[in-house]
Structure 1
């Protein structure tokens, strides 16, 4: 029963992510620069990959297929973290700081993916801590972000981070009934917050008077 809930929750996330990717690309082409288009595409694709990998992992019963998609699911978390950083580093921060953070976070993501390929299912607590550290590295850029992004944009960004963090705690709380499905809901909520931050506060959409 729980695996069905896990598959359904992130199946919904997959559909939302695909729709979000289409909207991001279309809006970036209409209102943004080439950097909006590139970074939004990377971010949107990382969303789709995460939710699709998770849905497939929780859908299959064959042990070999399940193991393959388990690796993909866990590796995709690193992709989403780095993908979420991308619009903020290449569009909002840009310059030396933006490219430095971009390089560091994608370097860490590649290391994490390599680790997941060879050590899938091991060191769960350590892996969760690594996800959280990567996610909250953005605080080193909080001052320039506050100067550039509207207050509400910062609010949505932080709200997403907090939802992911609380969700990680739920994920580790093994005694909580349906903890994995509840964690999925927190991940969905965090993704929605970050999507709002990216779409409404990084893209310069003109407002009709």
Structure 2
């Protein structure tokens, strides 16, 4: 990892407390979500769903734990490393969220193609972020949003397997993440906006989780 000295944004103590506590709560919720998701998949679905929920839940835990640790550290070399891991975990969560959607709800050619595209983009993003956060900053932001909304190309087949309530939760979660991305962009300039962004991420995660738990996990039982 090229960036050894911390050169990232420096937030006030209050902002860091809000950010670390909010995503600390998110970490606890993510652990619970992982356990509940895998158990529900084991009860109501098949091996594909169990593995998909395990991957999805694990990426939730990784993102929120990395964010919590990153915001809990003082500006130093360790914080620089955690900043890289924090950014990389976003790619993991996006791909992780797609996993049950593509391998359980969609499957077939559309599901596998979308699965490959999203995970391929995630691997590329992680590699580039590990090389340099600053050099690939714009690419990463564009990639986050593009990965998040590439699902629109599979809306029709997804609507054939997912009820309207699930689609509403899926779109609403995407909107929270997208608005959050805008807030993230201005968070370095306006105090507390970055901390507010953390709550938008939480909201997006919660909406997507309930979409997947209630409308994807039991899909084979419909």
User: What is residue 186 of structure 2 aligned with on the other side?
Assistant: 173
Structure 1, residues 20-48: CA drift from partner, whole Å, max 9, x if none? 00101111111110011010100000000
Q: 1:151 aligns with which of 141, 155, 164?
A: 164
Q: Does 1:124 align with 2:125?
A: no
- Cα RMSD for the two superposed structures: 1.6
Structure 1 residues 181-190 or 128-137, which shifts more?
Answer: 128-137
Contact in 2 for aligned 1:125/1:172 (Cα 8 Å): no
- Is the aligned partner of 1:22 residue 2:46? no
Q: Which runs of 5+ in 1 are unaligned?
A: none
Paired position in structure 2 for 1:75: 88
Aligned twin of 1:101: 114
**TM-score w.r.t. structure 1 length?**
0.95
Q: Under a length normalisation based on structure 2, what TM-score does the superposition of the two structures give?
A: 0.89
Cα deviation for residue 124 of structure 1 reads 3.3
Structure 2 gaps of 5+ residues are 1-13
Give 1:122 shift: 4.1
Distance 1:122 1:184 in 2: 24
SS of residue in 1 equivalent to 2:191: coil
Aligned residues: 207
